A and B are shown apart, each in its own frame.
With several copies, the nearest count.
Chain A
């Protein structure tokens, strides 16, 4: 158990982590976009409260957040029994449980950038869309989203990265079952704890390289339209 190269267990952990991060990011995109949109339109005194509420998962140390989730999911409590019945299997120590925890934990990373972007030009665009007879959902999907592409890419990148690095929450409610709940961050931590520095360095490097590649790809896909303007091409500035 002192692999010269990155071990099979680590590879498995890496794959699991990428899956978790991808699922979480997609789910959060589905949750975050309408949430941020509603919030950016909400003219009530409660808006600030809700915005702060969304920030709160950041404030609690992840392990403590994980602890409270553990209590929530616990079969010893009614909440956990109800959730398990709803889902058909216990949430603790399952991939589903991890996804739920990650979604809660990474919520601010998705919602905040979107909210900032929507607040800045969302009102103007939504009005312009409504003034052409477009219903709100169409305004969101066909007008606001295309105009907010950079913010969306940035939000997804943050969420993805944060889910990759997530540790405390996963440790608490997921433990470290290889192939099921052992994500890279935990594998990495365990290498360090077990004084397997070589394996730790290698895994950290692989993680960083893979993530950098993915993030660069995302940026490239989501680059703003104006980046390819005639002028920039003229001046030889690369897109």
Chain B
């Protein structure tokens, strides 16, 4: 029915992927989906304070968990829909090894570890390599992964941590997909919100996003496979 309408709150970084995936769902489920994208932190606040979202696709797992704890979601709807993968933006000539970071004496752009999940992951990488304390002075903190990408794209830095999905979306290949043992993969979770007036459809969309076909597409788009189904 055409009167079916869903509002999805999606992390800004996931928006391009979502836009690629949705048409198929809209066609089969006969339902229009509106994307409301933004920073996960902001979306969380909004969901908490009465925003009319049906589904919340966060860029982390912390905020969905919080919503669950505050009893704002349909019980059992919290699932990991993708793994965010960290990529290292490199100069074209540079080698794709940790030595490049070690020997780098210029600015390193990262997302702010204080607020951005990709920033936390980047810190973990540096810590694993034992470089965190040594390289700290060289770090230029962008607010989030998106802005880190904009920085690098505008040339304000030649080396930096970004999301792999961004590199794929932009069709660039000057990156090194960091080994997943250097950081805790970024679990991106979704929840169906309790205040949804259309919880069935929302659940259907969630199921679609968790389906095998979609997971395969996501891998092409620069996301990792979740370690296991669900939690």
Spell out A's residues near B (CB within 8 Å): 1, 63, 67, 70-71, 73-77, 80, 90, 92-93, 171-173, 175-178, 186, 190, 192-195
Contacts and interface: CB of A to CB of B under 8 A. Distances in A.
A190 B151 contact: no
A93 B15 contact: no
Given A73-B49, A93-B107, A171-B147, A193 B156 contact: no
A172 B46 contact: yes
Contacts of B16: 194-195
Interface stretch (B80-88, B92-100, B137-145, B215-223): B137-145
B115 A190 contact: yes
Contacts of B61: none
Contacts of A77: 155
B231 interface: no
A92 B49 CA distance: 8
Given A70-B156, A76-B48, A176-B112, A193 B146 contact: yes
Interface stretch (B34-42, B122-130, B185-193, B205-213): B34-42
A179 to B, nearest CB: 9
B66 interface: yes
Of A75, A77, A194, the most chain B CB neighbours within 10 A belong to: A194
A67 B44 CA distance: 12
Interface of B: 7, 9, 12, 15-16, 19, 34, 36-39, 41-43, 45-46, 48-52, 66, 107, 112, 114-115, 140-143, 146-147, 149-151, 153-156, 166, 169-170
14 contacts: A70-B150, A73-B49, A74-B155, A74-B156, A76-B48, A92-B151, A93-B51, A93-B156, A172-B42, A175-B9, A176-B38, A176-B141, A193-B146, A194-B115
A192 B170 CA distance: 12
Nearest to B158: A75
Of A71, A76, A77, A92, the most chain B CB neighbours within 10 A belong to: A92
B115 A193 contact: yes
Given A74-B48, A93-B107, A192-B45, 12 more contacts: A70-B45, A70-B154, A75-B155, A76-B50, A76-B154, A92-B51, A171-B143, A175-B151, A176-B36, A194-B12, A195-B66, A195-B153
Contact of B45 (A67, A93, A176, A177): A67
Contacts of B140: 92-93, 175, 177
Contacts of B147: 171-172, 175
A3 B188 CA distance: 28
Contacts of B66: 195
Nearest to B110: A175
B170 A195 contact: yes
Contacts of A175: 9, 36, 38, 43, 46, 51, 112, 140-143, 147, 151
